[in-house]
Amino acid sequence: MSPDEIKHFLVVYDLATGKAEVQPFGTDYDAAQKAYAAAERADADEAKFDIVLLSADSLETIKQTHSSYFSGTSSEQLRELLAS
Amino acid sequence: MQEQDALVAVGVTEDPQADLLDLLDFAAPLLDFVAPFTHQAELEDATAEQLPPRLLVADRESLGLEDLLHRHADRMALRRRQLPDPPQAWLVAFIILEEVELIGTRDQRSGCRAGRLDRGRRSVAQRRRDGRTIADIVRVAIEGHEIADDRVPEAAEAIDIVEWWRREDAKPLSRVAANLRYYAADYGNPVVAQRLKKAPTISHKLVREPNMKLSRMADIGGVRAVLPTQAAGYRVAGRLRKNWTIARFRDYVGEPKADDYRALHLINRNRGRLIEVQLRTPLQDAWANTVEAFARAIAPELKFGGGPPELRYYFIAVGESFARADQGLPTDPALRSRVADLQKAVDTLLDRAANES
């Protein structure tokens, strides 16, 4: 798979709720990077989010390799994580 | 030296990080912008005959640089000069593509297009005069709560530079990830993901480590592969070390970190950029992500060797037990009962956390 086929996802993780919102950019890395920088700048003062740009063949891969953004923060969810 | 001349040292090399850093280090005080990247790939078509494979420290005529510069003069905003004293006489200094683009971008944002190059040059020249580096400026930006109003533009510039630098890592990162996918495909459907480092993390690292530079930060671009077995991990690492320029190899499987993190880490030099490669087994990946999830949810200190002791010991025990599984060793009963005991303590901790929330 060439770099052109890789898809880019801006993950905006809300530190208060523990939920991640994913903005997909398809294969447009430039657009994704612009959005990345803009999101970071918008959050610079308040730092309410953990923002990261991740890329892979699919969102499923990212949910595996960077699962901590998606596994939730409640004790119940953490317990499930330990059980798995 | 005239103030309006912005100086950037350029060397075209296959291995600029290794070969140019020494040069740049000593030249840095004289330069506006320490930018050890290679343009060989971009310039290849035009200069294939003139460019030796490794073009380093020598006088510029012997390198064919003169001709190269003329060919690209219109794109490069060519302004070169020789520095005054030997051994600096061979140091060709001029503005390179990226620097021009950086200035262009910055000025487009502020809406002043006319005379943008000169304005940009003045700004970098001023930076040189007071002897500070980009990292210094970022340090000011981060400690920005206390900076005077007249430093605000400087802080904004530092953020521009960090973003620009990160953008420049994107292509090498994608290349490395594509290569890694190719190697990983020998072991089933490759699980490979790449990430560009968060700007706040980059900035904090510059602030935390006084000698850190953007050009030395090895993981602004990072790529992670999950491989089915430890043997596959070592084989892929072996191939990478054989076929790639590897600046650093860290075997955290043989020598786990204090918190029991295990993986193979390699730093690849790719066209002048340092890209970090992490190779993990599925168990190592699950372990690291679980620690990350706990750090995120209840104990950020976990990632720095802190946090509640029962949690730390629990993850160390689980890590050991996973490592045995990765090595194909049978379950160790003593270890298993330790994990079970610690799990009870962690359960209590989670109950407490649930009640508090």
Digit-coded pLDDT (tens) for A22-71: 999 999 999 999 999 999 988 877 778 999 999 999 999 999 999 999 98
Query: Which residue has better confidence, B340 or B67?
Result: B340
Indicate if the pLDDT at residue B137 is higher than 50.
yes
Indicate if the pLDDT at residue B185 is higher than 80.
yes
Measured in angstroms, the CA of A61 and the nearest CA of chain B are apart by 6
Question: Can you give the pTM of this predicted structure?
Answer: 0.69
pLDDT (average), residues B280-299: 91
pLDDT (average), residues B319-328: 94
Residues of chain A found within 8 Å of residue B167, distances taken between Cβ atoms = 33
* B198/A2 touch (CB, cutoff 8 Å), yes or no: no
Q: What pLDDT is stored for residue A13 in this prediction?
A: 94
Q: What pLDDT is stored for residue B156 in this prediction?
A: 67
Q: What pLDDT is stored for residue B106 in this prediction?
A: 30
Average per-residue pLDDT in chain B?
66
Indicate if the pLDDT at residue B64 is higher than 60.
no
Identify the helix (H) or strand (E) that includes residue A41: helix A29-42
Indicate if the pLDDT at residue B11 is higher than 60.
no
Indicate if the pLDDT at residue B109 is higher than 60.
no
Q: What pLDDT is stored for residue B2 in this prediction?
A: 30
The confidence band for B191, taking pLDDT boundaries of 50, 70 and 90, is very high
Indicate if the pLDDT at residue B82 is higher than 60.
no
Residues of chain A found within 8 Å of residue B155, distances taken between Cβ atoms = none
Mean pLDDT comparison of B93-107, B281-295, B296-310, highest-scoring range: B281-295
Residues of chain B found within 8 Å of residue A74, distances taken between Cβ atoms = 297, 354, 357
* B177/A3 touch (CB, cutoff 8 Å), yes or no: yes
Indicate if the pLDDT at residue B148 is higher than 60.
no
Query: Which residue has better confidence, B149 or B47?
Result: B149
Q: What pLDDT is stored for residue A46 in this prediction?
A: 75
Interface of B with A in 284-323 (CB under 8 A): 285-286, 289-290, 292-298
Percent residues over pLDDT 70 in chain B:
55
Q: What pLDDT is stored for residue B70 in this prediction?
A: 44
* B191/A62 touch (CB, cutoff 8 Å), yes or no: no
Residues of A with CB under 8 A from a CB of B: 1-3, 6, 13, 18, 29, 33, 36-37, 40-41, 44, 47, 50-57, 61-62, 64-69, 71-79, 81-82, 84
Indicate if the pLDDT at residue B261 is higher than 60.
yes
The confidence band for B81, taking pLDDT boundaries of 50, 70 and 90, is very low
Count Cβ–Cβ pairs < 8 Å, chain A vs chain B. Answer: 110
Best B224, B226, B271, B315 residue to mutate vs chain A (most A CBs within 10 Å): B224
Q: What pLDDT is stored for residue A76 in this prediction?
A: 80
